[in-house]
């Protein structure tokens, strides 16, 4: 029963990682850049939701929508101001810019909300007792796992079935050819950032609902872990991000429970290294042979 | 007035002057070819017409409007489609998805009839419609790239080295299809290294050398031209 409870907490933590990783992977897949500011957009989402509930007295669900709206705009603005001018630049320049944006967001949050942690009230409270109370699952956990599955399915359908989603995949493969088809590449990249940032807001709210506290650095560690999850599952792959996130959450939770709380992160990254040594493209990484 | 009129364009890659004072035109209903060796500037010219590159001088006029400053993604809806060099099909998408992307700018109701037309022209693609494009052979990928361009119902189709890397029998097949497309009323601008094949289908041709047009004439005349024979047709 104890194992089951660790497993469940791992799956719910992993679901949060998966939601973040989906944002990472989509942006990487289309813009071919690692948006290291993604984790900080999560933090902004958390703060917006916090402010909406604490200062404006809005209900939890409405604060989520507000956070999504603000982060969507934020993501599109970041892309337009910081990344778009670098479209022809080397990937290293873009990477460093992304790190700069990350610091900018953290420090802006520090300025606005201060360094001391804010107490965050979970968007849903209570728990579900199972087996006569021997095992309990919080509603936040159920909400997180549910949200993650819905988001994954929605993204899969979007990229697989809709015209815009297919255009996104076309851009991810070959931008020049996509332009020749009449696809506006800049607009497609903006849309990707919008979707990724809205997901980051959802992840922020869920993350804060678990940890019930919020600081300007709240997003950085989950951001890095979710990036790991995306690479673990195969960067650019939507099911890969989902699988990578869930597995990472489970490994972290079990390592904390049975090996060492301090070593959990080290174990996590060790597993990543082993996986990448065996399968460099990640668990579900794409490999398509190119015919000339 | 010519359908496509290119006047005095100069295109640079950084400091490299790739296309020098090039002027040519394509009339409605013609097949025009630009031939020349590797690095002569043929692909650069096509990329400039389709908006992927910009000329520092001159003008590109298509159907009487200047398209020199129009962004690449807005060119296709003007009736100008390009089959890029190296085919550039979307390798991780299915054959049918590739074709749908070709019709991106067309209303949804035109997609199915468009697919039928392409499948009539390329029955092979119909057999493989659900297959991932990366698993197709080189010849099939070339057919897919051509079918994809046709999905936009272009007035002018630009083909960038369709014969590249294909076995001779496939080259014959591709050129048969070019003839068929031409007979169906599509105007074609064809860039080729395979001068023999290109000149045999073309009404007119331009011969390029290191970024300049050195000779021009009808396809038949250029096939008989001594200097062209020497340089491109093996004596």
**Ordered DSSP codes for chain A:** -HHHHHHHHHHHHHHHHHHHHHHHHHHHHHH----TTHHHHHHHHHHHHHHHHHTS---HHHHHHHHHHHHHHHHHHHIIIIIGGGTTS-HHHHHHHHHHHHHHHHHHHHHHH-SSPEE---SS--EEEEGGGTEEEEHHHHHHHHHHHHHHHHHHHHHHHSHHHHHHHHHHH-HHHHHHTT--HHHHHHHHHHHHHHHHHHHHHHHHHHH-EE-TTTTHHHHHHHHHHHHHH-TT-HHHHHHHHHHHHHHHHHHHHHT-TTTHHHHHHHHHHHHHHH-TT-TT----PPP-
Decide if B112 is inside a domain: no
Residue A226 and residue A268 in contact, taking contact as beta carbons nearer than 8 Å: no
Mean per-residue pLDDT, B123-151: 95
Q: Span A38-59, mean pLDDT?
A: 94
Count the residues in chain A.
292
| Mean pLDDT, rounded, of chain B | 92
List CB contacts (< 8 A) between B91 and chain A.
Answer: 173, 288, 290
The predicted model gives B8-18 an average pLDDT of 92
Chain B contact set for A240 (CB, 8 A): none
For residue B235, pLDDT over 70 is answered with: no
| pTM of the shown model | 0.89
**B101 is a domain residue:** no
Q: Do A182 and B104 touch (CB under 8 A)?
A: yes
Chain A closest-CA separation from residue B222 CA (Å): 30
pLDDT for A291: 45
Instruction: Check residue A290 and give its pLDDT.
Output: 47
- Decide if B98 is inside a domain: no
**Which CATH number characterizes residue B75's domain?**
3.40.50.300
The pLDDT of A52-65, averaged and rounded, is 92
- For B7, residues 6+ apart whose C-beta sits below 8 A from its C-beta are B23, B58, B59, B60, B61
Question: How does the average pLDDT of chain A come out, rounded?
Answer: 91
Into how many domains does chain B fold?
1
Q: Cα(A232)–Cα(B66) distance, rounded to whole angstroms?
A: 50
C-alpha span between A180 and B70 (Å, rounded): 12
pLDDT of residue A286: 66
In-domain check, residue B70: yes
Nearest CB partner across the interface for B50, out of A180, A184, A288: A180
Kindly report, residue by residue over A258-290, the tens digit of the pLDDT. Answer: 998 889 889 988 988 898 888 888 888 765 444
- Assigned domain for B51 exists: yes
The full length of chain B comes to 235
CA B38 to each of CA A245, B48, B226, B229: distance values in angstroms, whole numbers, following the listed order: 48, 17, 20, 17
Asked if the structure places residue B58 within a domain, the reply is yes
Contact predicate B141/B174, CB 8 Å: no
Look at residue B123 in the predicted model and tell me its pLDDT: 93
pLDDT digits (tens, 9 = 90+) for A101-153: 999 999 999 999 999 999 888 888 788 887 777 788 889 999 999 999 999 99
CB contact under 8 A, B52 and A184: no
pLDDT value at residue A289? 47
Contact A170 B93 (CB under 8 A): yes
Q: Among A22, A100, A44, which residue's Cα sits nearest to residue A219? A: A44
**Is pLDDT above 90 for B202?**
yes
Identify the residue among B46, B74, B80, B91 best suited for mutation to test binding to A, counting A beta carbons within 10 A and taking the highest.
Answer: B91
Question: Within a domain: residue B109?
Answer: no
Domain residues for B222?
4-87+154-232
- Kindly write down the DSSP assignment for every residue of B21-80, as one continuous string: EEEEEE-TT-EEEEEE-TTSSHHHHHHHHTTSS--SSSEEEETTEE-TTS-GGGTGGGTE
**Which chain A residues touch B92 with a CB distance below 8 Å?**
169, 173, 286, 288
Would you state the pLDDT for residue A124?
A: 82
Cβ atoms within 10 Å of A131's Cβ, excluding its own:
9
- Rounded average pLDDT over A185-198: 95
| B133 found inside a domain | no
Are B93 and A169 an interchain contact pair (Cβ–Cβ within 8 Å)? yes
What does the pLDDT average to over A165-192? Answer: 95
């Amino acid at each position: 029963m104890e194992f089951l409870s660790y497993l469940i907490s791992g799956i719910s933590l992993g679901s949060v990682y998966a939601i973040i990783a989906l944002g990472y992977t989509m942006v990487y897949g289309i813009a071919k850049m690692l948006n290291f500011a993604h984790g900080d957009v999560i933090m902004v989402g958390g703060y917006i939701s916090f402010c909406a509930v604490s200062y404006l007295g809005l209900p939890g669900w409405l604060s989520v929508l507000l956070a999504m709206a603000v982060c969507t705009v934020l993501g599109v603005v970041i892309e337009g101001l910081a990344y778009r001018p670098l479209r022809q630049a080397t990937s290293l320049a873009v990477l460093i810019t992304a790190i700069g944006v990350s610091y900018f967001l953290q420090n802006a949050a520090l300025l606005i909300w201060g360094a001391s942690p804010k107490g965050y009230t979970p968007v849903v409270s209570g728990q579900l007792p199972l087996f006569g109370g021997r095992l309990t699952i919080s509603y936040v956990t159920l909400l997180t796992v549910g949200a993650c599955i819905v988001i994954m399915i929605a993204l899969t359908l979007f990229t697989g079935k809709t015209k815009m989603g297919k255009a996104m995949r076309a851009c991810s493969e070959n931008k020049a050819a996509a332009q020749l088809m009449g696809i506006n590449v800049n607009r497609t990249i903006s849309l990707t950032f919008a979707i990724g940032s809205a997901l980051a807001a959802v992840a922020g709210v869920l993350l804060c609902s678990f940890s019930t506290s919020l600081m300007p650095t709240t997003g950085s560690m989950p951001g890095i872990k979710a990036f790991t999850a995306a690479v673990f599952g195969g960067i650019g792959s939507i099911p890969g991000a989902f699988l990578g996130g869930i597995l990472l959450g489970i490994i972290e939770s079990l390592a904390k429970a049975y090996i060492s709380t301090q070593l959990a992160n080290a174990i996590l990254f060790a597993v990543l290294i082993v996986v990448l040594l065996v399968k460099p493209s990640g668990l579900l990484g794409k490999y398509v042979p190119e015919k000339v | 007035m010519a359908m496509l009129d290119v006047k005095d364009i100069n295109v640079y890659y950084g400091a490299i002057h790739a296309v020098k004072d090039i002027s040519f035109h394509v009339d409605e209903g013609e097949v025009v070819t630009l031939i020349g060796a590797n690095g002569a500037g043929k692909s650069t010219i096509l990329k400039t017409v389709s908006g992927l590159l910009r000329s520092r001088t001159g003008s590109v006029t298509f159907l009487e409007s200047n398209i020199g400053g129009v962004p690449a993604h807005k060119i296709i809806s003007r009736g100008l489609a390009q089959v890029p060099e190296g085919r550039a099909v979307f390798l991780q998408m299915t054959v049918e998805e590739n074709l749908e992307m070709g019709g991106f700018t067309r209303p949804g109701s035109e997609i199915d009839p468009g697919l039928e037309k392409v499948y009539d022209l390329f029955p092979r693609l119909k057999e493989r419609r659900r297959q991932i494009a990366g698993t197709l052979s080189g010849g099939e990928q070339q057919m897919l790239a051509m079918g994809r361009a046709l999905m936009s119902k272009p007035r002018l189709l630009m083909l960038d080295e369709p014969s590249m890397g294909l076995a001779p029998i496939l080259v014959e097949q591709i050129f048969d299809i070019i003839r068929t497309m031409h007979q169906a009323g599509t105007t074609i601008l064809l860039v080729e290294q395979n001068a023999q094949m290109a000149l045999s289908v073309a009404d007119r041709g331009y011969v390029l050398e290191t970024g300049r047009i050195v000779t021009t004439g009808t396809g038949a005349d250029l096939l008989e031209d001594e200097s062209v024979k020497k340089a491109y047709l093996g004596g």
